[in-house]
Structure 1
């Protein structure tokens, strides 16, 4: 537990990223010697609200799953909430996507399976809905592990940070944008949208035109990607025009959902899986258990070693063959 921790207990090693109102640093906890990812969240709230947020976040101590990022503890210092988590050395999938250009279907099959199992765990064991599924909240490491982070365990924190979730809204399901109650089916929409983004190499709304699809996948006739085909160097027609946030949200609510282009490089099983995630009406959307039985998931046979090998090659990391690459958070209490 880090309830009585102070910032002076940590040595900062570098910045890992920023988002959702907070900056994440790689730190070393000097008393234990453990490396951690520490997220700093600055909130202008009353002390009573801060205490409530801290109390709600402690539920994370009870979350123990291979598909959920490990939690070391939370403490308050200088008006900032410090959330200390397991460091996933390959980072988030949005960073992997930037490096890779596109993420292969086989890799996304293993990612999908892990996300589904993580969402099932949160729902079954803790009655938690993630509320913010997107590539930047799916973390990976050099051991080939895939874990969810930044899920909605604290309602008070979500309310206090509402204005910082502009990026999150672009992954929200239509029913959420219209003010309906959040359910796990909304997380499934977000998963589907994230999968298309990672598969084609760009945010998929509005739907790509045939000309744009050709610009992306026509490089070698098989959808393979040379350096000159990577998104940063693609023809301007390869991506959708920038949209203002109000245009984007209106499009999500009123237009047809995006789809993976069929007949290019993606299997029908993958295309069907994504379409089951992105049904406009949540009543028509597949639930977690239906998705887990889909051919795309059943046929996903990439091993953890193969996934780790791809991640390490992509992110220029050395494959970690140890059995204890990351310290188990409970060890801090021993």
Structure 2
């Protein structure tokens, strides 16, 4: 391929130069002469392939002719994608009758490195040990007729890169939830001793239900020649120390995670150098552009967390993905829109009516009971503890009712009876709490109904009235 760099420079690179190719910085697609990637719209940059391959990339091999044939236990149906290491096919397991993604190594690459196949098999086995809802599952690693392959879970969806480039931007809260799920998958890999080395949105698949799954664990570095100065990883997602030749580590994965977080919120990359030299200088010495969202204010908790993940010194970054999880959970707890969750929870529930909203931190709902009675339910945010409290008043807490209230407390499967001061007078309430960072719409819906039902039962049993 004739590179754009040759057209722009008076002194072209040597035929063996790692820059003798043009790649998109966002999705790593190898391109013909262009200034923007036709797949994701990213800016073209020279030599930014994560596969670290040179001219051999263009050499055809036997795997090109596999569509429509049977390989081992698999019927090859369709070519899904091509990379420097090999090709990924949609296949059907002939015995289990399941669809899978079959990654087949290019046979013409094996001769470059005597240890290549052994490392590939070792990494494949390590990846197969990862069983996590946010990781693409590797089912098998094998070899037949000279073809080395990985059988992987087929994810019927698009990459995160595709969604960021073509869909509406996620809200700050949605982006945080998405990155938190990715972090949980990455943490499972780090605990298993696996470093991804090329984490980026194009290596994260989104299922049709929106669940992110990380793919291609540990494969980017397998074919790197230790005497080759070419880079491993996609440069815009590489930590500063990797440009200096340091080995990839869990902390460099954390940096890449920070770039993904920044990109999901801002819709752009933190550093945009158009060649490796300028990009390296920016990443090593400059602060990224401020974290902004196209349509909403970005809370300081998010800004500081992104800065922490993108710290230039690995010693000042979280050591691994496990250390990132509580940071993101805290952020999510601080920014989660409980009002939106409540509206989602009650959208199709005609027995619940919103009565009032106070400062987007306290909601008053009225729950209709089957016998025509009604019960008012309060949902409140607790700032110091980041808790969502759901409670409903039973009646005034007088001494004559203490024994009955305590007995009723022992029979409650969810929530409990407590005493809360209302307008200076102690009252019995039924209350339930959830962490703001993890509560979901279904939990809110169920808890509102249960609290209302229990509080109404206690009120009727103790007073016979229907005041609250």
Where on the TM-score scale, by shorter chain, does this alignment land: which range?
A: 0.5 to 0.7
Q: Determine if the alignment matches structure 1 residue 296 to structure 2 residue 334.
A: no
How far apart are residue 153 of structure 1 and its match?
Answer: 6.5
Q: Report the alpha carbon displacement of residue 93 of structure 1 after superposing the two structures with TM.
A: 0.6
| Alignment correspondent of 2:3 | none
Post-superposition shift, 1:157?
A: 4.1
Q: 2:265 matched to 1:199?
A: yes
Aligned-pair distance for 1:135? 0.6
Asked whether the 8 Å contact 2:263–2:270 carries over to 1, the reply is: yes
Q: How many residues align?
A: 264
Report which stretch shifted further, 87-96 or 148-157: 148-157
Query: TM-score when scaled to structure 1?
Result: 0.67
Distance 1:49 1:289, change over 3 A: closer
Provide the C-alpha distance between the structure 2 equivalents of 1:250 and 1:78, rounded to a whole number of angstroms. 47
Task: Judge conservation of contact 2:197–2:221 (CA < 8 Å) in 1.
Answer: no
Rg larger in structure: 2
Q: Distance in 1 between matches of 2:204 and 2:264?
A: 12
Partner of 1:283: 315
What are the equivalent positions in structure 2 for 1:177-326 lying under 5 Å apart?
A: 177-206=243-272, 243-261=274-292, 265-287=297-319, 288-294=321-327, 295-299=330-334
Structure 1 residues 291 and 44: alpha-carbon distance in aligned structure 2, compared to 1, 3 A threshold: closer
Contact 1:9 1:31 in 2 (8 A): yes
Matched with 2:171 is: 104
If asked which structure has higher relative contact order (CA below 8 Å, sep 6+), I would say 1
Identify unmatched segments of 5+ residues in structure 2: 1-68, 345-468
Cα shift at 1:179: 1.7
Deviation track 1:187-218 (CA, whole Å, cap 9, x = no partner) reads 11111111222222233313xxxxxxxxxxxx
Distance 1:182 1:165, change over 3 A: closer
Task: Decide whether aligned partners of structure 1 residues 13 and 108 sit closer, same or farther in structure 2, where only a CA change above 3 A counts.
Answer: farther
Q: Do 2:92 and 2:99's aligned partners in 1 also have CA atoms closer than 8 Å?
A: yes
Q: How does 1:1-334 map to 2 (within 5 A)?
A: 7=71, 9-19=73-83, 21-42=85-106, 43-46=108-111, 48-56=114-122, 57-77=124-144, 79-124=146-191, 126-152=192-218, 156-159=222-225, 168-206=234-272, 243-261=274-292, 265-287=297-319, 288-294=321-327, 295-299=330-334
Gaps of 5+ in 1: 207-241, 310-334
Shift of 1:96: 1.5
Q: Deviations over 1:70-95 (max 9, x none)?
A: 11212335654322211111122112
Q: Which has the higher strand share?
A: 2
C-alpha RMSD of matched pairs (Å):
3.4
1 or 2, which has the higher helix percentage? 1
Say whether the 8 Å CA contact 2:158–2:206 is kept in structure 1: yes
- Cα offsets for 1:87-136 (capped at 9, x unmatched): 11112211222221533323222222122212221222x22222111111
Alignment partners' CA distance in 2, 1:61 and 1:290: 24
Shift of residue 252, structure 1, vs aligned partner: 1.6
Structure 1 residue 186: Cα displacement: 0.9
Cα distance, 1:19–1:197 mapped onto 2, change above 3 Å: farther
* CA deviation string 1:208-264 (max 9, x = no partner): xxxxxxxxxxxxxxxxxxxxxxxxxxxxxxxxxx71233222322232244413895
TM-score relative to the length of structure 2: 0.50
TM-aligned CA deviation for residue 170 of structure 1: 2.4
d(CA) in 2 for partners of 1:279, 1:107: 23
